[in-house]
A = this chain, B = another copy of it.
Amino acid sequence: MPRIRHTNFDCAPGCPVEGTLNLIGGKWKGMILFHLMSGTLRFNEIRRHLNSVTQRMLTNQLRELEADGFITRKVYAQVPPKVEYSLTEHGRSLEPIISALKLWGDTHLRSQATKAAAVRSQAA
């Protein structure tokens, strides 16, 4: 397996890297997409996954993801309301990115972020 030569890293026209980052770079978007990778979720289910998001922010981020064609919003004519969010095909196409982000985070953030947690679990 030859080491990949990155000779074709040209980022000239409208930069794909930057453009993609712009779409998923909202404060909660990565996490929302990540959780939706596992399947359809209701508004408050997502909200509970994202510990400290406000309603306004969550609505905001979901609307942007919807506008970008990544997720669909299905409203049930019920009271109390029921709204389900799920990924579109377009949204699922982000899976490699989300996976790469998660893998990297698991590998490289674990050490510093869970140092305290590790110590605690050691003590236990």
Contact = CB atoms under 8 A, between A and B. Distances in A.
Contacts of A23: 109
Contacts of A16: 101-106, 109-110
9 contacts: A6-B37, A8-B52, A14-B50, A16-B103, A17-B30, A21-B24, A21-B30, A97-B97, A100-B100
A97 B101 contact: yes
A38 B121 CA distance: 23
B118 A69 contact: yes
A51 B12 CA distance: 9
B35 A9 contact: yes
Given A14-B102, A16-B103, A17-B101, 17 more contacts: A3-B25, A11-B34, A11-B102, A16-B105, A18-B30, A18-B105, A19-B113, A20-B30, A20-B104, A20-B108, A21-B101, A25-B25, A69-B118, A90-B118, A90-B119, A93-B107, A96-B100
